[in-house]
Amino acid sequence: MNLDDLQHLLHTNAATVTEEYTRLFHGRGNTYGEYRFLTVDSVDKVLFAVLFDADEQEEAIISMLRNFFYAEGKWEALVVQQRYLPSSPSTVVAGKLPEQCFAIENTLKYHINFLNAQNIGFFPDMKLGREFVHKNSRGKNVLNLFSYTCSFSVAAIAGGATAVANVDMNKNVLSMGRENHRLNAFDTKKAEFMPYNILKSWSRIRKSGPYDLIIIDPPSFQKGSFAATSDYEKIIRRLNEFAAEECIVLSALNAPELGTEFIKTLFRENAPEFQYVERLENLESFPEIEEERSLKNLIFKKEAYKVG
C-alpha cells in the first residue's frame, strides 16, 4: 500500500461517515503493513489522525491527510496527534477546531478533548462492550471499575440501571464523566463518582454494593498504580465480596501480549463462582491480523444469571 492507496481507502470509508464516531483507518492491527503506526477517525466535526511511531513518511502522510480533508469537505478541522512524543502533542493542521467536540455513539454523547491529553476522553473500540452494558443494565446496580470518563456508566443509565458506582483514581476524568451524564440529561444522583485507588479502597467500594453488573476495564499498565500482569488478579480475587448472588462481569483487557486465557485462568483460580460465558466480538473497523492481540471483552456470570 502506498499513499495513493491509503487516500483511496480513506475516501471509500468516508462515504459511510455519519455524525457517529467512525474509524476510517486502523493500522494498529498490522493489517496494512508499513502503516501500522497510523489511525484515522471521524469524530463529530473533526478528522483525527494519530501517529504512534516516528516515521520517515510522516510529513508526506500529513500532507496527504490535509489534501484529503479539503477534498472531502466533511469536517471543520484536521487534528494530528504525535503519540510517540512526550506528552503526546496534538496539532490542528487544517481548519478550525470547534469550541466543543463530542463523540456520538448510539445517540449518546461524550465530551472530547483533542488538545490537552494523550487520550481524548473516549475509546471507540469499546462500542460493543457499551452496547452489552446497555442491554444488560435494566434494574441493576452497576460497578464500573477504572471508569475513566464514565462512558460505561452513561450506557448503563441509558439502559435503565438503578445506580452506577464509578471508580477511578483520577479526579479530572471523573469530573468529565459527571459532565457526560449531564450532557445526556441523565440524573447524576443515579451515578456515584469515587476518586479512589481501587486496590486500596475495597471497603468503600463494598458500601454501595452488592452489584448485579461489574465492569473491569483497566489500563494494561499505568506506572505506579496498575499492571495487569500482577494486579488484575487482585481484583478478581475480591469479586465475590461485592457481587450480588446473581451477577454478571464484563472483564476487559487491551494488552496485545496477554490473551483470553490469561483472564480465564485468573477467574478459574481466584473466582471459581463465576463461569465463563463468551467473548464479545470486536468491531470490523478495528481489524487485527492476530485476534488474540486485539481487545478482549470477556463475559462471566455467577449462578443462574441470564445474559440478555
Q: Identify the CATH number of the domain in which residue 12 sits.
A: 3.30.750.80
Q: Could you tell me the maximum CA-CA distance found in the chain, to the nearest angstrom? A: 57
User: What is residue 289's predicted lDDT score, i.e. its pLDDT?
Assistant: 86
Does 308 reside within a domain? no
User: What is residue 260's predicted lDDT score, i.e. its pLDDT?
Assistant: 95
User: For residue 256, what pLDDT band results from cuts at 50, 70 and 90?
Assistant: confident
Does 35 reside within a domain? yes
Domain range for 168:
124-302
User: For residue 118, what pLDDT band results from cuts at 50, 70 and 90?
Assistant: confident
pLDDT tens track for 293-304: 899 999 999 975
Among residues 57, 85, 112, which one ends one of the domains? Answer: 112
**What is the average per-residue pLDDT within 64-92?**
96
In this predicted structure, the answer to whether residue 222 has a pLDDT above a threshold of 80 is no
Lookup result for grid cell 458506582? 165
The reply to whether 287 and 241 lie within a common domain is yes
Full 3-state SS string of the chain: CCHHHHHHHHHHHHCCCCCCCEEEEECCCCCCHHHCCEEEEEECCEEEEEECCCCCCHHHHHHHHHHHHHHHCCCCEEEEEECCCCCCCEEEEEECCCCCEEEEECCEEEEECCCCCCCCCCCHHHHHHHHHHHHCCCCCEEEEECCCCCHHHHHHHHCCCCEEEEECCCHHHHHHHHHHHHHCCCCHHHEEEECCCHHHCHHHHHHCCCEEEEEECCCCEECCCEEHHHHHHHHHHHHHHHEEEEEEEEEEECCCCCCHHHHHHHHHHHCCCEEEEEECCCCCCCCCCCHHHCCEEEEEEECCCCCC
In this predicted structure, the answer to whether residue 306 has a pLDDT above a threshold of 80 is no
User: What is residue 305's predicted lDDT score, i.e. its pLDDT?
Assistant: 52
Question: Is residue 191 within 8 Å of 217, Cβ to Cβ?
Answer: no
CATH code for position 188 = 3.40.50.150
The reply to whether 195 and 290 lie within a common domain is yes
pLDDT tens track for 153-212: 999 999 999 999 999 999 999 999 999 999 999 989 999 999 999 999 999 999 999 999
Number of folded domains in the chain?
2
Does 248 reside within a domain? yes
User: What is residue 223's predicted lDDT score, i.e. its pLDDT?
Assistant: 72
User: For residue 120, what pLDDT band results from cuts at 50, 70 and 90?
Assistant: very high
**What is the average per-residue pLDDT within 43-67?**
96
User: For residue 116, what pLDDT band results from cuts at 50, 70 and 90?
Assistant: confident
In this predicted structure, the answer to whether residue 59 has a pLDDT above a threshold of 80 is yes
In this predicted structure, the answer to whether residue 20 has a pLDDT above a threshold of 90 is yes
**What is the average per-residue pLDDT within 257-274?**
95
